[in-house]
Structure 1
Amino acid sequence: MHAVVRLDGPDGPTDDSPPWGTADRLTDAVRASAGRVLVRTPYSLAVGELHLRWGAQLDVRPLHAEGDGPGDDAVAAYVAKYVTKGASETGAGTDHKVTTWDDINAAPVSEHIRTLMRTCWRLGGLREYAPLHLRTWTHTLGYRGHILTKSRAYSTTYAALRAERAHHIGQAEIPDAITDAHWRYVGSGHTPGAALIAAGVASDLASNREMAREEISRAAVSH
């Protein structure tokens, strides 16, 4: 998880922070808050009541629009890199859903991620956690939320960005541009030739998954 924490003045985002609101004070507040957070899970006969806390790995760095340290552009680029990547690229699962325990065993992930996927699958089988649909989201380690959340009083909104983009495109003057506002349905799906190729690729993938399961089963028996 990455969070950008900002301290505004009493009148909101347009007001400077008070003199005592230094970067060191804000850093101390973040560390203290992370250490005090505690969430208790609903009681389950299988696992009891769990206490969830943040781990020991906490990296707090001041951001600087100018000067030393990471700037706002660098942070935006860093976040955008992970937002636009798939789950498999970030090492946080796979890009496709798993439907069986064998799918987890055959997934091209590290043993650490595989353990998390197995845990998610086991918890998803408990009645107490059924509303979370953990098995449906095992491929993303149970996470199904939005990639980004932010304060309503700071920054902007997606609606405002879409409106600004639409206005910009509408006002832009492109030489020799032709605008066609009429659309008609042409068709969907593969052509006959492409359908044969797609079927062959799907068959090869299914065969590879089956061979991977067989190899894992043989390895488990030999041990």
Structure 2
Amino acid sequence: MTDTATATAAGLDPATLRDLLRVAGAPDFHRWQDQIRRTGGCSDPIHLTGYTKTLDRATGTVLHTYSTDTDPGGRLRVACGNRRASRCPACAWTYAGDTYHLIRAGLVGDPGKGTPETVRVHPKVFATLTAPSFGPVHNRPLSGSCRCGLRHSEDDTALGAPLDPDGYDYAGAVLWNNYASDLWRYFTIYLRREIAARAGLTQKAAREQCRVSFGKVAEYQRRGAVHFHAVVRFDGPDGPDSPPPPWATLDLLTDAIHAAARRVTVPVPAAENQPARTLRWGTQLDVQPIRSADAGTDGELTEQAVASYVAKYATKAAETTGTVDR
């Protein structure tokens, strides 16, 4: 069989096949293979060049040296770490997997990650805090048709675009994303205050009896506005290793989250042709209790489901920003 026929059968062009055979026959192929294996199948690894030198601080003796000159092609290949599946499926999958196990450890416990299994019975919820409306956009409502009169497909590029570009508050949307981290920070502050108030304690006394732990991910909606998905958990005074006090209930936590979200405001000063404004969370706030997979009932969120949701959002956020894929 000719090189062309072999390449065609393998789904390659002849030049690529010859290059693969050259690499496979090289004396340093084992090192190249090791680098590729360590990248986890990355589609676009980063190529590093340079050297390192390890010295004994007291004597100045050179303990170890490494240079990429000894590597295949004079380069060290490392995974790109991109969260976009469209850019690198392998790294996006790894990121989602790491996120899943990290969140799951905070829900069911994992002694290997420093979280005891007793956190499984700590009260915890899955909360979603959204941006306010900056104007109507093209969407896919459950009723079927968008307000524009069309039924958009899932991959329609019009989704998230303003129905009335002239009347859409673009400045407000930009400012919202810019101050989203401040909104979240103030939310955590107000949440602790609301928890203390509902427990009938001072903030100091509440901190001495109970800690509030968070795990969150920011996601860009189709319209380009950031919103947050968060796991919020009650712990004891020593963190996840200690049980929360009896007053730290799911109902108290849920009520406190709703109240804290309503109280948060972030003032934005006037700038050029933009007037001063006050940013707030949107009205669509969802708080759901997280149940043990063993005790969960139909329609209730379990730890595994939440960990899967957060892992999905962690990579989805990088795919839905509408930016150029490069």
The two structures share one fold, judged by TM-score above 0.5: no
More helix per residue: 1
Higher strand share: 2
Pair member with larger Rg: 2
TM-score under structure 2 normalisation?
Answer: 0.27
Q: Indicate the structure whose relative CO is greater, using CA pairs within 8 Å and at least 6 residues apart.
A: 2
